[in-house]
Amino acid sequence: MWDVGLAQMFKERDNKSNIGPCIGKVVGINPLKVSILDGQVILYGDQLIKCSHVVNLIMSEEVLIIPAENEQVFFIAGKVGD
């Protein structure tokens, strides 16, 4: 049975799921903090890069978050909604 467990561990390692574009919620302004994945992850500081047209974010506002390939940096692409 150990071989089944080992095979499962390799499968999980090799099939890492990516976050992909998602909707985030502004949960802090100064410093800027954005919550994604239903609050499971909070992004802040050097992790966040705002596109030049994204200005004056307010608390609880929803934004489009796009991760870089390495998922260490996330781009705020724009506001969601009105």
pLDDT tens for residues 63-80?
Answer: 999 999 888 999 999 999
Q: Give the pLDDT score at 17.
A: 66
Specify the 3-state DSSP secondary structure of 51. coil
Question: Can you give the CATH number for the domain in which 31 is found?
Answer: 2.40.50.140
d(CA 61, CA 26): 5
Domain containing residue 41? 20-79
Strands (DSSP E) along 1-82, which ranges? 22-28, 33-36, 41-44, 48-50, 62-67, 74-79
Q: Give the pLDDT score at 19.
A: 85
Q: Give the pLDDT score at 81.
A: 84
- Evaluate whether residue 55 is within a structural domain: yes
- Evaluate whether residue 45 is within a structural domain: yes
